[in-house]
Structure 1
Amino acid sequence: MELRVLRYFLVIAEEGSISRASEVLHTTQPTLSRQIKELEEELGAGLFIREKRKMVLTKAGMYLKDRAQEILSLSDKTTQEFINQRKQLFSGHISIGCVEADNSDTLSMILEEFIADYPEVTFSIFSGTGEDIIDKLDGGLLDVGVLLKPISTEKYEYVSFPMHEKWGVLVETSSFLAQKNDLEPKDLKGVPLLAPVRKDVQKKFANWMEQEVDDLTITGDYNLIFNVFSLVENKVASALTIEGAIAHRQTENLRFIPLHPPLETQCVFAWRKNIMFSPVVQELIKRMNDAFRA
């Protein structure tokens, strides 16, 4: 005996007509007739006396009506209690670390939906380098983080965002490099560069250049690209960066030029292994897994 069929039965009993009940329930008359017939067969008793213009409950039908109301009331009450418990459960705070990248927009979209579903949840976002975020993840100061690959699989679980981040060089518009549509390794030989502080990023770039890291002309390194803009504008050096980090910040004096052949990386949403997170953090991780796990 299904709850759905009991609801059908109660509406028919209330309306006194299968045709009117079908309008209320937005289903067809044959469907309701079939469901009631199967219910009568299951119970071994007739539930309605079918008169010309009205369906009247039999004695068995009146008994079932009372019991069905009790059953559905208990079902609705139980469902509501779980909803109330869920609302209570999903209130809390999430601490999120995020590197400068295009995929921060992806995080924003997920958070928008999450907060709409759980308005009592609050969050804080820490912007920094991958090293800063990893340090805070390891120290328990952040729950989750958006990082650029590569990332340690020994300490972290993660899902990869589908959008790839494109590497290039931020140059001052009067630079000879600014006249090019893309930059090949030969174009950057001996060019003073400001590079991200992460050694694995510098190594990735060195491999693309077919050089050793020590042979690169790195004038300085940086953690946040914002601090580099004035250095590039004043022609101290050009800056190796991903396009997403500067997409909404370029000025008329600066230009981003992609590398060719393309050098790309992915962002990941990462969290520490073997940690008992709060229910609200677990739910956010589940949503990220559902959205992006291949």
Structure 2
Amino acid sequence: MELRLLEYFLAIDGAGSISRAAERLHITQPTLSRQLKQLENELGAPLFTRTNHGLTLTQAGLYLKTRAQEILTLTQQTEQTFIDQRRQLFSGNLNIGAVEADSSHTLANELAGFTAEYPAVTFDLFTGTSDDLFDRLDKGLIDLALLLEPVNADKYDHLTLAHTERWGLVVSVDAPIATKPVIEPADLPEVPLIISSRGAVQQLLASWSEIKLTDLKIVGHFNLIFNVMPLVQAQVGAALTIEGVIDPQNHAGVRFIPF
């Protein structure tokens, strides 16, 4: 006898009809009817009788209701016991590396669930560039890394998050380009740029714009974006970055314009 059939049986009893139970279970009525018939065939007894007020449990149904509740409760308690034991056994420290990216919210959501599931596990979070994080991975200083494409992660166990970052420029609101809704390749040659020191990001810019880096006004490079914001505010240059890294409330006088 499958636990699923007992759950269906109790759902029908609770709903008072097969149609309402099927709706609550998000399955079709014919499917639920077949499952009930299968259970009755296994037990060799009808479990419900039809009345003007819906379905009523037979004597066999009343007995099964009590036993089904006991069985499912015991099953849940047993599963919970093993979950609790696993939580107690699973302990240690998780070293995590992350780049500055809006997808850090994904990391926060995952960590919230993980620490709730395994309260004995602590974590250390290191923020750096992708190159920093690859170096730490190779040296065993971090256990996992949240990176920003373009990266080559072929030699690591990795997965791609569904979240997609949008590239663009952070510019001073007083810069001539600040009124544009989007940045186009033709805009770049006239804009002083502060870009990432990572070669992969520089190549991304060159590929997107179809302009050689030597033909752009690159006035500076950075590894982390935070300290670049005063330079943008002072109109030293526009910073190449991703949307969401800069909080406008903490950096007045700048705005992000997407590519």
The TM-score, its normalising length taken from structure 2, stands at: 0.70
- CA-CA distance at 1:251 after TM superposition: 2.8
- Aligned pairs, how many? 223
C-alpha distance in 1 between matches for 2:227 and 2:204: 22
The equivalent of 1:253 in structure 2 is 253
- CA-CA distance at 1:36 after TM superposition: 9.2
C-alpha distance in 2 between matches for 1:120 and 1:86: 10
C-alpha distance in 2 between matches for 1:256 and 1:98: 22
The equivalent of 1:215 in structure 2 is 215
For residue 166 of structure 2, give the secondary structure of its aligned residue in structure 1: strand
| 2:76 is aligned with 1:83 | no
Change (3 A) 1:37 1:226: closer
| 1:189 counterpart letter in structure 2 | P
Change (3 A) 1:36 1:181: closer
| 1:121 counterpart letter in structure 2 | V
Q: How does 1:203-282 map to 2 (within 5 A)?
A: 203-247=203-247, 251-259=251-259
| 1:253 counterpart letter in structure 2 | G
For residue 171 of structure 2, give the secondary structure of its aligned residue in structure 1: strand
Please give the per-residue CA displacement for 1:127-165, whole angstroms capped at 9, x wherever unaligned: 111111111111111111110112224311222122211
Q: Who wins on radius of gyration, i.e. which is larger?
A: 1
C-alpha distance in 2 between matches for 1:143 and 1:243: 27
C-alpha distance in 2 between matches for 1:3 and 1:191: 66
Asked whether the equivalents of residues 150 and 204 of structure 2 are also in contact (C-alpha less than 8 Å), the reply is no
For residue 160 of structure 2, give the secondary structure of its aligned residue in structure 1: strand
Asked whether the equivalents of residues 95 and 125 of structure 2 are also in contact (C-alpha less than 8 Å), the reply is yes
Identity across matched positions, percent: 45
For residue 170 of structure 1, give the secondary structure of its aligned residue in structure 2: strand
The equivalent of 2:56 in structure 1 is none
C-alpha distance in 2 between matches for 1:170 and 1:5: 58
For residue 164 of structure 1, give the secondary structure of its aligned residue in structure 2: coil
| Structure 1 gap segments, 5+ residues each | 7-21, 42-53, 56-64, 260-294
The equivalent of 2:94 in structure 1 is 94
Q: How does 1:142-153 map to 2 (within 5 A)?
A: 142-153=142-153
Q: How does 1:110-125 map to 2 (within 5 A)?
A: 110-125=110-125
C-alpha distance in 2 between matches for 1:149 and 1:111: 22
The TM-score, its normalising length taken from structure 1, stands at: 0.62
Asked whether the equivalents of residues 248 and 255 of structure 2 are also in contact (C-alpha less than 8 Å), the reply is no
C-alpha distance in 1 between matches for 2:100 and 2:210: 26
Q: With CA pairs under 8 Å and 6+ residues apart, which has the higher RCO, 1 or 2?
A: 1
Asked whether the equivalents of residues 229 and 251 of structure 2 are also in contact (C-alpha less than 8 Å), the reply is no
Over aligned residue pairs, what C-alpha RMSD do you find? 3.8
For residue 171 of structure 1, give the secondary structure of its aligned residue in structure 2: strand
C-alpha distance in 2 between matches for 1:184 and 1:227: 26
The equivalent of 1:265 in structure 2 is none
Change (3 A) 1:219 1:249: farther
| Structure 2 gap segments, 5+ residues each | 17-34, 46-58, 61-66
Asked whether the equivalents of residues 206 and 216 of structure 1 are also in contact (C-alpha less than 8 Å), the reply is no
